[in-house]
């Protein structure tokens, strides 16, 4: 679009707007014109041929001429820090060398005999040495009578081995499973009422009546053939309605049933160990 006089071309106008000199201007886009011819290529610029550092600045060379130096103040700071670190390291090395020299001198030094006088010792050390000077020499002994009260104290003591003798007497050859109080306590369940509990448990057991065990005390099916020895139950002990019988395998108990023909016919399942008598 054509630039309008007095109107900034920051944003192209594509909608109607008031013209600065009066009236309404309606932008109209015309046909795009042909592209102009390409301009000539300008001369090639000079290139930096070398760069080097000079102190705290960089020097650029173009051909045979040098451009003005470019200062680098931060390089000076880094150099200063480097120099300070190097100086600190050097001082530390000197200090370590001096410390080793003094340590070697102290290690090789020896204190001559009697080189420390009593005046150089602290009061506590001097007091301890004074007690040591008055102590008994090595190998010095005393009798029991020389120690006040020692004889009376020893007279009230048991002879050597007395405790072991008492322990042996208490064990009296008992089994190793019960030779300590802990084992005895474990055997009775660690219960202080073991005797009472045992008596109560025995009292709760079944007591056989003098006249024999009544049938009411025996649960149904509790007595099987395996519980009774062969011939252990006499015929006289069988209840009413039981008779002695036998088949090809041997003796067997039989039940005798007596009834009418009608009663017999009414029995749907006949017992092979029952003798049915019909009237």
Q: Has residue 265 been placed in a domain?
A: yes
Note the pLDDT tens digit of each residue in 133-153.
Answer: 777 777 778 888 888 888 888
Q: Has residue 144 been placed in a domain?
A: no
Q: Has residue 255 been placed in a domain?
A: yes
Q: Has residue 257 been placed in a domain?
A: yes
Q: Has residue 264 been placed in a domain?
A: yes
Could you write out the three-class secondary structure of the chain? Answer: CCCCCCCCCCCCCCCCEECCCCCEECCCCCCCCCCCCCCCCCCCCCCCCEEEEECCEEEEEECCEECCCEECHHHHHHHHHHHHHHHHHHHHHHHHHHHHHHHHHHHHCCCCCCCCCHHHCCHHHHHHHHHHHHCCCCCCCCCHHHCCCHHHHHHCCCCCCHHHHHHHHHHCCCCHHHCCHHHHHHHCCCCCCHHHHHHHHHHCCCCCCCCCCCHHHCCCCCCCHHHCCCCCCCHHHCCCCEEEEEECCEEEEEEEEEECHHHHHHCCCCCCCEEEEEC
Please state the domain count of the chain.
2
Q: Has residue 117 been placed in a domain?
A: no
Output the pLDDT for position 14.
59
Q: Has residue 259 been placed in a domain?
A: yes
Output the pLDDT for position 218.
75
Output the pLDDT for position 19.
57
Q: Give me the tens of pLDDT residue by residue for the chain, a chain 279 residues long.
A: 444 455 455 455 556 656 555 555 556 556 677 777 887 776 766 777 888 877 777 888 887 788 888 777 665 666 676 777 777 888 888 888 878 877 777 777 676 777 778 887 888 888 888 887 777 777 778 888 888 888 888 877 777 777 777 777 777 777 888 788 888 888 888 888 888 888 888 888 877 777 777 777 777 767 776 777 776 676 666 666 566 677 778 777 778 888 999 999 999 998 888 888 888
Q: Which residues contact 41 (CB under 8 A, 6 or more apart)?
A: none
Output the pLDDT for position 18.
61
CB 67 within 8 A of CB 61: yes
CB 26 within 8 A of CB 16: yes
Output the pLDDT for position 206.
73
Q: Has residue 196 been placed in a domain?
A: yes
Other CB atoms closer than 10 Å to residue 75's CB: what's the count? 14
CB 278 within 8 A of CB 264: yes
- Could you tell me the pTM of the whole model? 0.23
Look up the domain containing 263 and give its range.
Answer: 239-279
């Amino acid at each position: 679009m054509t630039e309008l006089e007095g109107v900034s071309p920051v944003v192209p106008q594509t909608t109607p707007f008031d013209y600065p000199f009066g009236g309404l201007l309606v932008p109209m886009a015309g046909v795009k014109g042909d592209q102009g011819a390409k301009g000539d290529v300008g001369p090639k610029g000079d290139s930096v041929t070398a760069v080097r550092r000079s102190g705290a600045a960089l020097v650029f060379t173009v051909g045979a001429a040098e451009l003005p130096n470019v200062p680098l103040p931060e390089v000076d700071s880094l150099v200063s820090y480097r120099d300070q670190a190097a100086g600190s390291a050097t001082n530390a090395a000197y200090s370590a060398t001096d410390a080793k020299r003094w340590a070697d001198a102290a290690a090789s030094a020896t204190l001559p005999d009697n080189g420390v006088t009593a005046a150089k010792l602290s009061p506590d050390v001097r007091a301890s040495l004074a007690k040591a000077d008055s102590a008994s020499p090595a190998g010095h002994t005393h009798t029991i009578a020389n120690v006040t009260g020692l004889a009376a104290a020893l007279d009230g003591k048991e002879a050597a081995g007395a405790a072991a003798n008492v322990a042996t007497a208490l064990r009296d050859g008992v089994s190793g499973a019960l030779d300590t109080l802990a084992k005895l306590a474990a055997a009775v369940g660690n219960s202080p009422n073991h005797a009472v509990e045992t008596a109560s448990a025995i009292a709760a057991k079944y007591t056989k009546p003098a006249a024999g065990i009544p049938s009411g005390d025996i649960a149904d099916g509790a007595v099987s053939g395996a519980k009774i020895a062969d011939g252990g139950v006499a015929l006289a002990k069988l209840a009413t309605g039981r008779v002695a019988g036998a088949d090809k395998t041997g003796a067997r108990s039989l039940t005798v049933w007596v009834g009418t023909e009608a009663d017999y016919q009414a029995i749907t399942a006949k017992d092979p160990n029952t003798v049915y008598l019909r009237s």
